[in-house]
């Protein structure tokens, strides 16, 4: 959920909205925010599953230290979504274990 | 590989790194600051509460405002700030590997200041890996920087300043904090922060810990239990809460990877977050020409990080000849006296003692090293 009003930081100013795709579904986010923030705003909290036990993982540190938030972004696995900025048209996918680089072919 | 050079290269553009950059660049040195983030400021921009201490430390001013003022000063000083750039290695010959937008750089600098900050501690309990369990600093970043609420109903673990402040900030942003759990028999943070929490009606459960977090794919609830004097859970004292988020404010530890890699000697000081590099009063480590400042030297707070940054910056450019001995000494004396003020009082005293030990251990190391060299 977006914090639009804040007693100290004031109102959230009009930010530039962009459309990105989460597992193929179009979603809205703010240009330049971390991908993780846009997903969290949309209520998505499971970002990946672990390789051996397939346990869910989500945001833990939010500053790029723990790697719990890794997803496949524009075909590249192991992308830390808390420190990767959102751009128009980005394809963000939940990562299942260790994934290979997804090539353009698979997207067609 | 592209090569970059500088008189002083600084890792980290947080409170400490920016102050070091300002001091070094205003003295006339060519300064390069490198930070992994897209925005400079480190942890400062998530600190929306008013700072404490004396007037020189801008008490009463909010952290992010101090951050903006500092950024402006650094910009005017002529220091170069390289953002979105990760320092991935630092060799004993002081050459630095940096990756920036897919391009590899080798940075060669005469002096290096490591101001890499700290990271949050983890705590293990059943369910601790479920999405929805996160660091309090992570929640703070989400809510104050990214303006997204990490959850609606939150339980906080830890009643130190970070736990208290972040709980309050989550409420300011519209979340409900159902309680704060503290293992110790008393609240860890400042009375002022705890008072605000109490007035907001949030219970603080001292002498309690998390028993487990439950939920299928993400956090759905949490169970806490009282502790006996040996920190064992007392059966029958469990309380359950329906929450979607559990925040852990159980301390920070210094980000010392690069400091280890370059070959510095360390001390172990639990109150500072564990292993911390030995350094002298100039913030210089056991590797000549490599300085440290801020949380990486032992976790304290933003004001002391800034002063350590000032100290490292002044000392580094003095060594390069940009300041005379007298000029540098005057600045260092001022910084030292401000640091002493910060490290005084009920909460500061312990930090002062630890810092003194760290510096004394450095002197002992220097003596031993000298003896060893004399015998050769
Ligand atoms: C999440 C979090 C929340 C905090 N909240 C509070 C609070 O509310 N109040 C308070 O008083 N204190 C708080 N603190 C303590 C805080 O660390 C200090 O107040 C102060 O900000 C420390 O300054 P610093 O310059 O040492 O580190 P930081 O401000 O952390 O700056 C370090 C910088 O170095 C960069 N960096 C590290 N390694 C590399 C690398 N290899 N390559 C490139 N860049 C790198 C980081 O990205 C970061 O920007 C918090 C700390 C954390 C970690
Ligand atoms: S949440 Fe820890 S690296 Fe992104």
- List the domain range (segments joined by +) for residue B276: 2-119+252-375
Query: Nearest-CA neighbor of B152 among B173, B137, B134, B166?
Result: B173
Q: How far is the CA of B291 from the centre of ligand 1 (A)?
A: 17
CB proximity list for B15: less than 8 A, separation 6 or greater: B42, B43, B44, B67, B70, B294, B302, B303, B305, B306, B309
Answer with the residue of higher pLDDT: A63 or B248.
B248
- Asked if the model's pLDDT at residue B57 lies above 70, the reply is no
Distance between CA atoms of residues B185 and B116, nearest Å: 33
Q: Does A29 touch chain B (CB under 8 A)?
A: no
Q: Dig out the tokens for B371 from the structure.
A: 């003896």
Tell me which of B374 and B232 has the higher pLDDT: B232
| Same domain flag for B233 and B340 | no
Supply the angle between the helices B161-172 and B191-199 in degrees, to the nearest 10. 40
Provide mean pLDDT across the span B255-276: 96
Number of C-beta neighbours around residue B231 at 10 A: 10
**pTM, full prediction:** 0.90
Does residue B169 sit in the same domain as residue B204?
yes
Token duo for residue A102: 């997804």
**Chain B residue closest to A35 (CA)?**
B146
For the segment B148-207, what is each residue's pLDDT rounded down to a tens digit?
Answer: 999 999 999 999 999 999 999 999 999 999 999 999 999 999 898 999 999 999 999 999
Query: How many domains is chain B partitioned into structurally?
Result: 2
Q: What is the CATH number of the domain that holds B313?
A: 3.50.50.60
B52, pLDDT greater than 80: no
CA nearest to A61 within chain B: B138
**Cα angle B22, B23, B27; round to 5:** 110
Domain end (from B248, B278, B313)? B248
Q: Which of B131, B143, B218 sits opposite A3 (nearest CB)?
A: B143
Q: Is the pLDDT of residue B372 over 80?
A: no
| pLDDT band at B347; cut points 50, 70, 90 | confident
- In this structure, are B244 and B287 located in the same domain? no
Which of B248, B269, B290 terminates a domain? The answer is B248
DSSP, collapsed to helix, strand or coil, labels residue B344 as coil
Is A5-98 in CATH node 3.10.20.440?
yes
Residue nearest to atom 39 of ligand 1 (CA): B116
Confidence of residue B1 (pLDDT cuts 50, 70, 90): confident
Mutate to test the interface with B, among A28, A56, A81, A82 (most CBs of B within 10 A): A56
B254 DSSP β-pair partners: B118
Domain boundary among B204, B225, B248: B248
CB-based contact A3 B36, cutoff 8 Å: no
Main-chain dihedrals φ then ψ at residue B72, nearest 5 degrees: -60, -45
Residues B256, B114, single domain; the answer is yes
Residue B56 has pLDDT above 70, yes or no: no
pLDDT digit string (tens) for B288-300? 999 999 999 999 9
Phi and psi at residue B84, in whole multiples of 5°?
55, 35
Average pLDDT (B319-344) is 96
Phi, psi of B316, deg, nearest 5: -65, -45
**B252 within ligand 1 shell (Cβ under 6 A):** yes
Contact A61 B134 (CB under 8 A): yes
- What is the distance in angstroms between the Cα of B53 and the nearest Cα belonging to chain A? 21
- Say whether A61 and B217 touch across the interface (CB within 8 A): no
* Residue from B126, B135, B146 whose CB has the most chain A CBs within 10 Å, to mutate: B146
User: Strand, helix or coil at B64?
Assistant: helix
CB–CB of B132 and A61 under 8 A? no
Separation CA B120–CA A58 (nearest Å) = 16
Q: Which one is predicted more confidently, B376 or A65? A: A65
Residue B56 Cα, ligand 2 centroid: separation in angstroms?
Answer: 35
Strand intervals (E) in B158-301:
176-182, 204-206, 208-214, 221-226, 239-241, 245-248, 252-254, 266-269, 274-277, 290-292
**Complex ipTM value:** 0.93
pLDDT digits (tens, 9 = 90+) for A5-44: 888 778 877 789 999 999 999 999 999 999 999 999 999 9
Residues B201, B283: one domain? no
Residue B272 and residue B219 share a domain: no
């Amino acid at each position: 959920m977006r914090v639009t009003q804040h007693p100290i930081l004031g109102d959230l100013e009009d930010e530039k909205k962009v459309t990105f795709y989460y597992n193929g579904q179009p979603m809205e986010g703010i240009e330049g925010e971390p991908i993780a923030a846009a997903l969290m705003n949309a209520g998505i909290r499971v970002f990946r599953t672990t390789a051996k036990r397939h346990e869910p993982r989500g945001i833990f540190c939010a500053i790029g230290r723990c790697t719990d938030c890794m997803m496949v972004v524009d075909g590249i696995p192991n992308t830390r979504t808390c420190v990767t900025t959102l751009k128009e048209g980005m394809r963000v996918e939940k990562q299942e274990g260790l994934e290979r680089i997804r090539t353009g072919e698979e997207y067609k | 590989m592209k090569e970059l050079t500088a008189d002083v290269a600084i890792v980290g553009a947080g409170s400490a790194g920016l102050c070091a950059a300002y001091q070094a660049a205003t003295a006339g040195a060519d300064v390069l600051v490198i930070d992994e983030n897209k925005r400079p400021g480190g942890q400062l921009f998530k600190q929306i509460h008013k700072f404490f201490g004396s007037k020189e430390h801008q008490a009463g001013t909010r952290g992010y405002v101090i951050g903006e003022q500092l950024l402006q000063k650094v910009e005017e000083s002529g220091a170069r700030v390289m953002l979105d750039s990760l320092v991935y290695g630092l060799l004993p010959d002081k050459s630095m590997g940096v990756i920036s937008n897919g391009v590899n750089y080798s940075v060669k600098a005469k002096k290096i200041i490591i101001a890499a900050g700290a990271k949050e501690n983890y705590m293990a309990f059943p369910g601790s890996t479920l999405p929805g369990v996160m660091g309090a600093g992570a929640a703070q970043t989400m809510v104050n920087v990214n303006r997204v609420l990490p959850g609606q109903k939150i339980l906080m673990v830890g009643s130190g300043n970070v736990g208290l402040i972040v709980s309050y900030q989550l409420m300011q942003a519209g979340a409900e904090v159902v309680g704060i759990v503290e293992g110790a028999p008393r609240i860890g943070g400042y009375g002022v922060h705890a008072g605000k929490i109490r007035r907001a009606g949030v219970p603080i459960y001292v002498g309690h810990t998390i028993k487990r977090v439950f939920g299928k794919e993400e956090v759905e609830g949490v169970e806490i239990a009282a502790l006996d004097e040996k920190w064992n859970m007392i059966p029958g004292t469990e309380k359950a809460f329906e929450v979607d988020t559990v925040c852990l404010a159980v301390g920070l530890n210094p980000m010392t990877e690069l400091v280890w890699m370059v070959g510095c000697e360390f001390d172990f000081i639990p109150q500072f977050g564990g292993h911390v590099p030995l350094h002298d009063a100039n913030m210089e480590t056991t590797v000549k020409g490599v300085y440290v400042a801020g949380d990486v030297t032992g976790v304290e707070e933003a004001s002391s990080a800034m002063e350590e940054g000032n100290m490292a910056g002044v000392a580094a450019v003095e060594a390069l000849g940009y300041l005379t001995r007298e000029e540098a000494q005057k600045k260092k004396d001022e910084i030292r006296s401000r640091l002493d003020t910060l490290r005084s009082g009920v909460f500061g005293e312990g930090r002062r003692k630890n810092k003194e030990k760290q510096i004394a251990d450095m002197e002992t190391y220097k003596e031993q090293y000298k003896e060893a060299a004399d015998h050769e």
